[in-house]
Structure 1
């Protein structure tokens, strides 16, 4: 598309549509600026004023989009992690021909994402901000809820096809997540500096999925 056509389309948009585009562009600029500042200064040392200066927006504009530094921190991490999340946590609802291998791949990707620097930073912030339930709800809706719904659909399909014995997939989905993370939770809760090797991820995923199948197959 050449620039004249693009300009024509932009100027042909109604006021509401154009305002929406501009609003999203401003929000994206703030998120990108915040991600840069947080990387350099860390969460504790970063100020909203520094982010405002980096984004080149007014204080009113910044707080209009993000009322608190905590919310902006989570949103900026989720923004950076969104592509990785969708790439790594792909749920193909029809891919039950080799359910065990499919769950193995999902388990490995879930571990890589959850225990990446971004994943750990988000979860540790949520733990330290337990008195702010709105922050947890925001994070849940943006990421984990989508994965949960997709996993429930996958497990229900496997039940319908007879690959898993009849049960409530809401329960088995919780069990599956717990098994996948069982060997790694100390890293999160105690801040252990344990290297997350591919060998460990693959072996732990194998153990988790084997245990799951022991419970949920006839």
Structure 2
């Protein structure tokens, strides 16, 4: 029972933090504001999350996992239209990775390189799972003859790089470029077409 209550409290804090960060942004948000929103004591808040940085990362990962459609990434049934599936996946990845929150979490991790535990935890909760599911998707396409035989560990890296190729300067240089749906859709088509030129059967 105590474990159930513990998880309920943790989720309540994560939900409260996500709401406050959305309204105020990372820099302006205080732990006191999150404590008030979650209606917990300061000791309880810091018992679960020792720093604002850690809580920010965990709240965004929680929100991303709650909102992300896992069936878009990997469906155990046969994939009849691989290109359409990959294009939809690319669009979904770009929308999250280059949203204000997506950029904020990645920039925070870059700035917090001196805290490898934070980066490792973020990787294990987010990218590591996504990479594994993407490799499974590519392996399934290989098994079905839609892609050439190859090592999906390598092609997964190529696929992610192509998907982000037109947007990565926004992350690294803080460029204020409008992320329009037209750009996302066109860039996704270009990325997947390039990928399939290399790997399609």
What TM-score comes out, normalization by structure 2 length? 0.91
Question: Which residue in the other structure is 1:190 paired with?
Answer: 173
Q: Return the index of the structure with the highest Cα Rg.
A: 1
Alignment correspondent of 1:154 = 137
Give per-residue Cα distances to partners, 1:135-155, cap 9 Å, x unaligned: 111111222222111111111
Alpha-carbon offset, residue 104 of structure 1: 1.1
Q: Which residue of 2 aligns with 1:142?
A: 125
Deviation at 1:212, TM superposition (A): 0.7
The RMSD of aligned alpha carbons is 1.8
Work out the number of aligned pairs and report it. 201
Matches for 1:65-84 after TM superposition, within 5 Å: 65-84=48-67
Q: Report what 1:206 is aligned to.
A: 189
CA contact (8 A) 2:72 2:85 kept: no
Report the secondary structure of 2:75's partner residue: coil
User: For residues 133 and 108 of structure 1, do their structure 2 counterparts lie closer, same or farther at Cα, with a shift above 3 Å needed?
Assistant: same
Q: Distance in 1 between matches of 2:96 and 2:17?
A: 21
Aligned to 2:132, the other structure's residue is in SS state: helix
> For residues 11-45 of structure 1, what are the alpha-carbon distances to aligned partners after superposition, in whole Å with 9 as ceiling and x for unaligned?
xxxxxxx2122111211222223223333433223
Q: Secondary structure at the match of 1:167?
A: coil
Consecutive unaligned residues of structure 1, counting only runs of 5 or more, are: 1-17
Contact kept? 1:108, 1:205, Cα under 8 Å: yes
In structure 2, what is the Cα distance between the partners aligned to 1:165 and 1:56?
55
TM-score (normalizing by structure 1): 0.84
* Contiguous gaps of at least 5 residues in structure 2: none
